[in-house]
Structure 1
């Protein structure tokens, strides 16, 4: 076991259950940010000149912010992950650094993805 693994486990053991969940969620978020989901978020081939429609992905009532990001990436695969990265990172930082409620974070994430999708659609209107 590496020194970092030991430190993380020690920190995890000292936290209450809710904060342990937050730490795991944040670690999963960082894995996703580093490209831990091969192929997720990549655009499927749409008909040339036509925008791709969002996929129907059911929202789990128990989902946290990390799961919401995964759901939104699957809902909007046509969006470029790099364009969403700064905003999603900032929102997640608020969750963990300012202890913002999960429901507010998820709502904000949904708004960001929807706004980016509207921008994606505008590209097709201009053609």
Structure 2
């Protein structure tokens, strides 16, 4: 079975909310979300509050906007793993989002440490 057929079969087996979540995630992966900043990203995280009701895809999008200074490719694997935990393994959205918050905060601290080393090396 081709990947496309397998994906369609899996998609059809999901509930409507999970189908929408999968579509949202696919759009995120394809990079169709609008870029919040065209200029140089800010040095500090943006104060974008976490809504009371948020799905995992929207949380990833919010966190990417909150931390525009982070390299999307470096976070991709960890964010995808949380999405998989939620969609495939049934982990509650709130739990996956809490972990995403920790991942982004940790990556931001690593970014700061790396930036500090770069400045010291100059």
TM-score of the superposed pair, with normalisation by structure 1:
0.76
**Residue among 27, 31, 37 paired with 2:23:** 27
Q: How does 1:1-127 map to 2 (within 5 A)?
A: 11=12, 19-40=15-36, 44-46=40-42, 52-126=43-117, 127=119
41 and 66 in structure 1: CA distance in 2 versus 1, 3 angstrom threshold: farther
- Superposition deviation, residue 20 in structure 1: 1.7
Q: Say if 1:41 and 1:79, in contact at 8 Å, map to a contact too.
A: no
How many residues align? The count is: 112
Q: Displaced runs of 4+ in structure 1, greater than 6 A?
A: none
Unmatched segments (≥5 aa) in structure 2? none
41 and 64 in structure 1: CA distance in 2 versus 1, 3 angstrom threshold: farther
Indicate the RMSD between aligned Cα atoms, in angstroms.
2.4
The higher relative CO (CA closer than 8 Å, separation ≥ 6) is in 1
Equivalent residue of 2:49, what SS?
coil
- Superposition deviation, residue 124 in structure 1: 2.3
Q: Say if 2:41 and 2:68, in contact at 8 Å, map to a contact too.
A: no
Q: Say if 1:79 and 1:120, in contact at 8 Å, map to a contact too.
A: yes
Q: Say if 1:79 and 1:117, in contact at 8 Å, map to a contact too.
A: yes
Unmatched segments (≥5 aa) in structure 1? 47-51
Q: Say if 1:79 and 1:116, in contact at 8 Å, map to a contact too.
A: yes
